Amino acid sequence: MDRFLTPDDLGKALRRDVAEGLGARPRTLPAKWFYDERGSELFEEITRLEEYYPTRRERAILAARAPEIAEATGARTLMELGAGSGEKTRMLLDALSGTLRTYVPVDVSGDFLARAAAQIAEDHPGLRVHPVVADYERHMSLLPDGERRLVVFLGGTIGNMTPAERVSFLSALRATMDDEDALLLGADLVKDEKRLVRAYDDARGVTAEFNRNVLNVINRELGADFVPERFAHVALWSPGDEWIEMRLRSLEPQVVHVPAIDLEVEFDEGEEVRTEISAKFRRERLEAEAGAAGMTIDRWWTDADGDFALTLVRP
């Protein structure tokens, strides 16, 4: 297992993000801090909600197109960014079994990676499994290369980045790619606003709990005294940006202390913290961004309803 990120680095990054994000107005927190053990469980639960369509749609596309993906790429190395998609990974590994030699899962959580990698290795004797602990937004140039590499970035997680972040992410990835390499990218698509908002504001309140969980993470890791129930979950569509925004809205005037960074945060009643953006795409936009990063969209597959796209992007 390669490590480009220690638990200590992660702690530092959290302190920096919280100091910057809560120390200024409008208040923001990066979406990546949702995913401690509890947050990852809640996200799994979200993927099973009736309202949350992306996971099911992407899985259906993958099920239909895995043989074509194998045929088009002949991948010998499969590198998965954010290795959290167990079932989808297995579908790809099975479809690529004719050519695949090495599987490289990349994640910020070493514990999670070790468990996932051991399971994959057990289920695929003969496959070389090479887990890498890294933040793909920061360590792209350090990630291992490999012959005929297929990089997969699924789930629509690219939507958590702003347009500028997406282009720098894609450019950094492009710089590591050879002509025979490819990127398999999952992207959620622009659709009816009501369906989009429902997917991020489900009736049972699982997404609300997921959203508030970031406050538990900050309490535990930085000794803060957030009372999550004093914040309401907000999900809204921003038409100009074409993204869903999740926010936490302070239900009352309150002061929160974050001792690890010696920060005191005053919230007005109704003041909001933006906790996530989840951009939704149109084909032209993704083509333009891939183009800006020196790549082209070679294949574009959607589900029957046109809800979600799986695309093969090439240098």
CB of 213 to ligand AVJ, least distance (A): 11
Among 18, 156, 234, 280, binds ligand AVJ (CB under 6 A): 156
Does residue 103 have a known ligand-binding role?
no
Reported as half-sphere exposure (CB side, CA atoms, 13 A), residue 84 has a value of 22
> Residue 25's Cα: distance from chain center in Å?
25
- State yes or no: 211 annotated in a binding site: no
Using CB under 6 A as the binding rule, whether residue 30 contacts ligand AVJ is answered as: no
Distance of CA 26 to the CA centre of its chain: 23
Identify which range of 96-104, 154-162, 291-299, 301-309 contacts ligand AVJ by CB under 6 A. 154-162
The yes or no reply on residue 207 touching ligand AVJ (CB under 6 A) is yes
In the complex with ligand AVJ, which residue's Cβ is closer, 207 or 250?
207
Of 67-75, 135-143, 149-157, 169-177, which part binds ligand AVJ (CB under 6 A)?
Answer: 149-157
| Site pattern 262..301 for ligand AVJ (x: CB under 6 A) | --------------x-x-----------------------
φ, ψ for residue 35 (rounded to 5)? Answer: -95, 60
- Residue appearing with tokens 């090495």: 102
Q: Which span sits near ligand AVJ by CB under 6 A: 117-125, 133-141, 152-160, 223-231? A: 152-160
Q: Among residues 189 and 258, whose Cβ is nearest to ligand AVJ? A: 189
> Please, how many CA atoms are within 13 Å of residue 33, restricted to the half-sphere of its CB?
26
Question: 287-299 in b/e burial notation, b at 16+ Cβ within 10 A?
Answer: bebbeebebebeb
Instruction: Compose the 48-77 pattern: x for residues touching ligand AVJ by CB under 6 A, - for all others.
Output: ------x-----------------------
Among 103, 112, 136, 200, interactor with ligand AVJ by CB under 6 A:
200
82: annotated binding-site residue?
A: yes
Measured CA to CA in angstroms, residue 214 lies from 55, 128, 138, 228 at distances of 22, 35, 21, 9
CB nearest ligand AVJ: which residue? 278
CB contact set of 161 (below 8 Å; sequence gap of 6+): 137, 169, 279
Residue 183 to residue 166: CA distance in whole angstroms:
14
Supply φ then ψ for residue 134, to 5 degrees.
Answer: -160, 160
179 is in an annotated binding site: no
φ, ψ (nearest 5 deg) of residue 182: -150, 160
Q: How do strand 132-133 and strand 2-3 relate by DSSP bridges? A: parallel
89 forms part of the interface with ligand AVJ (CB under 6 A): no
Residue 63 and residue 308 in contact, taking contact as beta carbons nearer than 8 Å: no
Q: What residue ranges bind ligand AVJ (CB under 6 A)?
A: 46, 54, 155-157, 159-160, 200, 207, 276, 278
